[in-house]
């Protein structure tokens, strides 16, 4: 009885975060094909826009590692959840920032 529960406990985070990754990749591919990727006028703003998704993943990983130090959460589990949730938040930040107008 414990074996199926243990297998589900191991695979569930990987399946959920894999679903998030596939969602983000397919949405970005769809935006690329429709030529609606975010574009900014200044080079600095464009660099920030292009870096939001990887930054979200790195910040998510750092927060997850910090949480695993202070709470009784497995480090291996947090390494799966942190970057996955950071990827999703980075994508949402990309969407919000790409629609925001630049002011000079």
* Calpha distance 58→45 (Å, rounded): 19
Residue 35 host element (H or E): none
Nearby residues of 82 by Cβ (< 8 Å), 6 or more positions away: 60, 61, 62, 63, 64, 65
Q: What pTM was estimated for this model as a whole? A: 0.82
Domain locations along the chain: 2-99
Q: What is the percent of the chain where pLDDT is above 90? A: 40
pLDDT in tens, 53-62: 999 999 999 9
The residues, any chain, with a CB within 8 Å of residue 87's CB and separated by 6 or more, are: 17, 20, 21, 24, 53, 56, 57, 60
Whether the predicted pLDDT of 10 surpasses 60: yes
Alpha-carbon dihedral angle through residues 26, 32, 49, 20, given to the nearest 10 degrees: 0
């Amino acid at each position: 009885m414990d074996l199926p529960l243990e297998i589900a406990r191991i695979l569930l985070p990987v399946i959920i975060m894999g679903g998030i990754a596939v969602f983000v990749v397919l949405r970005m591919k769809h935006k690329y094909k429709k030529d609606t990727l975010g574009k900014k006028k200044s080079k600095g703003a464009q660099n920030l826009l292009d870096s939001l998704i990887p930054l979200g993943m790195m910040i998510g990983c750092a927060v997850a590692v910090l949480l695993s130090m202070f709470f009784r959460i497995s480090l291996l589990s947090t390494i799966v959840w942190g970057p996955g949730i950071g990827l999703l938040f980075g994508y949402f930040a990309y969407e919000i920032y790409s629609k925001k107008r630049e002011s000079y």
